[in-house]
Amino acid sequence: APVGRYKLSVQNTSSGSSSPASLGTFVLLFNPWSSGDDVFMPNEAECEEYVLEEFGIIFAGNKNHINSFGWNFGQFQGDIINICLSMLDRSLNYRQDPATDVSHRNDPKYLGRVLSAMVNANDDHGVLLGNWSGNYEGGKSPSSWTGSGEILQNWKKSGFRPVKYGQCWVFAAVLTTVLRCLGIPTRTITNFSSAHDANGNLRVDEFYDASGNHLDVTADSIWNFHVWNESWFSRSDLGPSYSGWQVLDATPQEESGGIYQCGPASRNAIKEGDVHLDYDCPFVFAEVNADCMYWNYDPTTGKKTLIFSKSTVIGQFISTKAIGRDDRVDVTSDYKYEEGSTKERDIFKKARKKLGLEDKFDPTAPTPQEIDQKPDISGKFKVAGPLEVGKDLNLTLVLANLQSDAKTVHANMTAWSTVYTRRPVHEIWKDSISVTLSPKEVKQFPIKIPYTEYQQQLTTDNTIQVTALCHVEGGIQVLVQRDITLDNPAIEVQVLGEAKVNKEVDVEVIFTNPIDMEVRDCVLQVEGNDLLTGILEIDLPPLKASEKSSTKFKLVPFEAGPKHLLVNFSCDKFAVIKTFKMVNV
């Protein structure tokens, strides 16, 4: 039967009266506890986590430095069920043919696909408008949300106008809320070094100019991380070996069937390279497996030369929250065979073959000679100090001569602030060095980027990309790069006393300004299911250099059990500092 709201009435046949008496309405959901259901999940603990749990942890940062933050899914709060049902009635499919749309609402793969389109605003005036520019005027910065409830309520309150703004984890978190609300087991997945392959060739190309600037000239990109969803259901259309976890992605990246939607792609199909199967397997396969090509590009002549290619960069530390604990679980091996193994390369070839890429001449591909060329030197950036907003950034460029004769190197270095998709936003710093390396010599060059130089340019993602393009005399160029995510200072949350149902309890939030300048526009934002209603916002006075602030507020919990309090602190110098505290009521 289709999920949704049903009218229930009773008719008395004996009295001959023909009009039935209404008993009211009920909502029918998917049932993961029932063995006959498409979403049946035999493990009770998994049902608890992936359907009933209203708190989640989302992983972010980059592959060298994974961080995490809490999220309030809130799928059973207030009006959420009604908003989820009205979302279905606002989809393009429903508008085009209501009867057919409703008749398909018994099918989780149909609903998952429709909702992956409805959570983004593209095509259908869906829930969230994406914005990756680094400028979030006219809306809320994506990193400032703490839960899905506020977003869904705002969407409804505004007469279903798209809410500003979302980025990948916000789209994924809202889709988690909607699918859990309807009874479909769902979780968020973070993929580090995630490829966005815009032209479907299982390859991402990045271009750099002679100065080492990362050029924004291609639709391909490699994101520091990307968040999508997995939902659990059977695939009667593909066969039992493709049932289980299915990838859905509500972030609008590429059109599928003419609109911005993605999935469901069977996770088993991705692992086995069965990219010909429905839906959108080639795109998801590329996100975790694409090969990377780094090019030097001359904008004046349009000439491009390959610097190097890598097949082991993409799809690392694929992460999700543990069941019943606040820990990270690595699921990379569920998406692909071990990186660099023959099996993994065979699957990659199989996928290319299925997409017809093996037989087709690709004029944009590098020649075998280009791919086989060997550099004379190697380089890397080492971190030499704390990676914290408010502190100077200290790095070391290490260059090593791999040959037994001397090499002269000219290195052009740049640092740019970026958004987490590695899209460059502002130039922060540039420099160049020339050096002669004697045979097999390793040299280190210290780099210091003062806080005062990057402070104005930093985006809310706290990310900086450092690049050195090394021109080696008589040899091929070498590209050295590192993506750096800076940590915000910490905020401390303490519950003062025992939390009991319907009893007031004080909570204290402590923040110490770590920099030697005043911070202004300080705002504390607090939310937590069953601990307080709605979102508490507290404006705080400016804080002088090194000053400590303590803020107290009261909670009156209205349900017993382990609850999560989510706290955001923001000010003019630190975008959003997030933490959460488990409160045992």
Summarised one tens digit per residue, pLDDT across range 381-399 is: 999 999 999 999 999 999 9
What is the structure's pLDDT at 533? 92
**Residue 260 tokens, joined:** 């911005």
Every domain of the chain and the residues it spans: 44-355, 374-485, 491-584
Selected residue with higher pLDDT from 199 and 174: 174
Amino acid type, 41: M
- For 491-584, CATH number out of 3.40.50.80, 3.60.21.10, 2.60.40.10, 3.40.1010.10 equals 2.60.40.10
Least confident residue range of 3-7, 95-99, 156-160, 298-302: 298-302
What is the structure's pLDDT at 48? 97
Q: Is 519 left (phi over 0), alpha (psi -120 to 50) or beta?
A: beta
Q: How many helices (DSSP H) and strands (DSSP E) are in the chain?
A: 13, 30
Give the span between the Cα atoms of 54 and 514, in whole angstroms: 34
Stated pTM of the model: 0.95
**Do 279 and 264 contact (CB within 8 A), yes or no?**
yes
What is the structure's pLDDT at 191? 98
Q: Is 120 annotated as a binding residue?
A: no
**Residue 109 tokens, joined:** 């793969």
Model confidence at 373, pLDDT cuts 50, 70, 90, reads confident
Q: Which sequence positions are flagged as catalytic? A: 168, 226, 249
**Residue 445 tokens, joined:** 């060059």
Q: Is 339 annotated as a binding residue?
A: yes
Q: In 3D, which of 259, 257, 290, 293 has the Cα closest to residue 275?
A: 290
Q: Is 516 annotated as a binding residue?
A: no
Distances (CA, A) of 48 to 54, 100, 101, 380: 10, 33, 30, 45
Whole-number percent of the chain with pLDDT over 90: 92
What is the structure's pLDDT at 154? 97
Least confident residue range of 106-120, 172-186, 346-360, 513-527: 346-360
Q: Which residues are within 8 A (CB) of 195 and not within 5 positions of it... i.e. 6 or more apart? A: 204, 220, 221, 222, 223, 286, 287, 288, 289, 290, 292, 314, 315
CATH topology for the 374-485 domain: Immunoglobulin-like (2.60.40)
Model confidence at 370, pLDDT cuts 50, 70, 90, reads confident
Give the span between the Cα atoms of 91 and 87, in whole angstroms: 7
Say yes or no to pLDDT of 291 above 90. Answer: yes
For the residues 20-41, what does the mean pLDDT come to? 96
What is the structure's pLDDT at 17? 67
What is the structure's pLDDT at 487? 95
Same topology for domains 374-485 and 491-584, yes or no?
A: yes
Average pLDDT, the chain: 95
Selected residue with higher pLDDT from 15 and 47: 47
**Do 58 and 38 contact (CB within 8 A), yes or no?**
no
Q: Is 289 annotated as a binding residue?
A: yes
- Which helix (H) or strand (E) segment holds residue 432: the answer is strand 424-437
Domain 44-355 has CATH 3.40.50.460: no
Say yes or no to pLDDT of 18 above 80. Answer: no
Say yes or no to pLDDT of 225 above 80. Answer: yes
Q: Length of the chain, please?
A: 585
What is the structure's pLDDT at 16? 67
For the residues 78-105, what does the mean pLDDT come to? 97
